[in-house]
């Protein structure tokens, strides 16, 4: 009997050790802070907080998890961040969740520093929407003086070559010529690290009359940033005669940025415009004939693929019978002409590893799932007949609804 008891105790010890190691291993994947009944009230007042109240069994919580941790990695890893991303397990801290009126999962609440009453997030649970919400909350306690209002009606402020644009000055300023614009948020750590380099870049090109180096604070001038579908910070756009022609995604060292600006200044933009003007109507139609096949999108190309115009996306699995039946119709739809609508027909294979997170974030819960996006935002899900005529009608009706 004594031997049996020793064996049982050994097994219990091994089991506890394994569970402990699993908990430790699991905690490594979390960048968000875990708060409980014991530490929530003392921690949440120390900084601005965005908190997810969740239950481990909740499907929507599981879908949000990678996005929430991406947000946490962006903000919690930076010592200068003005926001802490946290989470509360309501199956463990029931009393805390009850006190904060959590009645469904996930519930996302934003707490300003020093406050214990949160503001509920009610938007789409994607990274752009979450960061926009943070911007709004961080700007909500800032009062605008009469002096500042008067300044917004003046010309753009220029400091050592760097042009600071506002909602009132932006469109007029960029309507002619070349402009390299940084869209940023003051709380963003990456933006703060780029700031001195961006100032230096502006000074380098201060006397270059053909280009301006500028910046826009998206927490103060949201409509400007929304019009260019800015989804993350910093976003660096090259604007030519009022139109966005390129997004800079290279290294952010001063030499790399200088080389980029120089190459854009020296590019023969006039030749491109003349070439486009010289095309006959037939040639213009022919030049678009390459866009007949369905656009294959991945998790890496998704945001850039849907950022302009209308995009109808089919999320599918190759083994799915209904997806196979829809495939030829989808190809025909891509060949359809929509003279007055800028529309792209696309597809995402949700079985590919590179796309699994994307399909989770987009809340794809069956195949095929068809979503319509306009300028980067999901506006509708298609649940009708999968005939060519009905799909065409769906696109046309949504276009007219937007007018």
What residue has token string 């100032």?
199
Contact present, 394 and 382 (Cβ < 8 Å): yes
| Cα 235 to Cα 248: distance, rounded to the nearest angstrom | 8
| Cα 348 to Cα 323: distance, rounded to the nearest angstrom | 11
| Cα 262 to Cα 244: distance, rounded to the nearest angstrom | 17
Active site includes 225? no
- CB burial of 320-347 (b: ≥16 within 10 Å; e: otherwise) equals eeebeebbeebeebbeeeeeeeebbbbb
Active site includes 191? yes
For residue 361, how many C-alpha atoms fall within 13 Å in the half-sphere facing its CB?
Answer: 21
| Cα 216 to Cα 225: distance, rounded to the nearest angstrom | 8
Of 385, 348, 350, residue with least CA distance to 365:
350
Both structure tokens of 265: 């200044």
Catalytic residue (one of 225, 323, 350, 359) = 323
- Would you call 217 exposed, middle or buried from its count of C-beta atoms within 10 A (0-12, 13-18, 19+)? buried
- Would you call 149 exposed, middle or buried from its count of C-beta atoms within 10 A (0-12, 13-18, 19+)? exposed
Residue 244 neighbours by CB distance under 10 Å: 17
Catalytic residue (one of 191, 218, 350, 359) = 191
User: In whole angstroms, how far apart are CA 125 and each of 1, 63, 102, 249, 257?
Assistant: 57, 9, 17, 25, 33
| Cα 370 to Cα 43: distance, rounded to the nearest angstrom | 42
Catalytic residue (one of 61, 90, 97, 188) = 188
Active site includes 188? yes
Residue 303 neighbours by CB distance under 10 Å: 17
Residue 81, C-beta contacts closer than 8 angstroms, at least 6 positions apart? 75, 187, 189
The residues that are catalytic are 188, 191, 320, 323
């Amino acid at each position: 009997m004594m031997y049996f008891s020793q064996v049982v105790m050994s097994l219990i010890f091994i089991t506890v050790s394994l569970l402990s190691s699993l908990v430790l291993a699991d905690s490594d994947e979390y960048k968000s802070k875990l708060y409980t009944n014991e530490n929530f009230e003392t921690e949440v007042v120390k900084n601005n907080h965005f908190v997810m109240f969740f239950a481990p069994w909740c499907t929507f919580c599981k879908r949000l998890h990678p996005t929430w941790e991406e947000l946490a990695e962006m903000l919690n890893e930076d010592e200068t961040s003005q926001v802490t991303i946290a989470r509360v397990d309501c199956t463990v801290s029931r009393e805390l969740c009850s006190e904060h009126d959590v009645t469904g999962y996930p519930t996302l609440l934003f707490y300003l520093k020093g406050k214990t009453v949160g503001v509920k997030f009610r938007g789409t649970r994607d990274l752009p929407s979450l960061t926009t919400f943070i911007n709004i909350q961080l700007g909500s306690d800032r009062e605008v003086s009469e002096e500042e209002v008067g300044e917004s009606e003046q010309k753009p402020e220029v400091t050592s070559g760097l042009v600071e644009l506002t909602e009132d000055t932006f469109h007029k300023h960029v309507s002619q010529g070349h402009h390299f614009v940084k869209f940023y948020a003051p709380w963003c750590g990456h933006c703060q690290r780029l700031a001195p380099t961006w100032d230096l870049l502006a000074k380098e090109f201060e006397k270059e009359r053909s280009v301006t180096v500028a910046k826009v604070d998206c927490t103060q001038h949201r409509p400007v940033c929304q019009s260019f579908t800015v989804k993350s910070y910093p976003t660096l756009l090259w604007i030519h005669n009022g139109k966005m022609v390129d997004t800079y995604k290279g290294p952010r060292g001063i030499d790399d940025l200088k080389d980029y600006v120089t190459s854009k200044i020296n590019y023969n933009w006039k030749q491109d415009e003349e070439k486009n003007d010289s095309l006959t109507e037939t040639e213009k139609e022919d030049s678009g004939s390459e866009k007949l096949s369905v656009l294959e999108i991945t998790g890496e190309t998704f945001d850039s693929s849907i950022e302009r115009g209308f995009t109808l996306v089919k999320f599918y699995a190759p083994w799915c019978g209904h997806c196979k039946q829809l495939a030829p119709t989808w190809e025909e739809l891509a060949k359809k002409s929509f003279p007055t609508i800028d529309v792209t027909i696309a597809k995402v294979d949700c079985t590919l590893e590179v796309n699994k997170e994307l399909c989770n974030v987009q809340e794809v819960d069956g195949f095929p799932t068809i979503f319509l996006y306009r300028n980067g935002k999901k506006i509708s899900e298609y649940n009708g007949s999968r005939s060519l005529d009905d799909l065409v009608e769906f696109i046309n009706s949504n276009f007219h609804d937007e007018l």
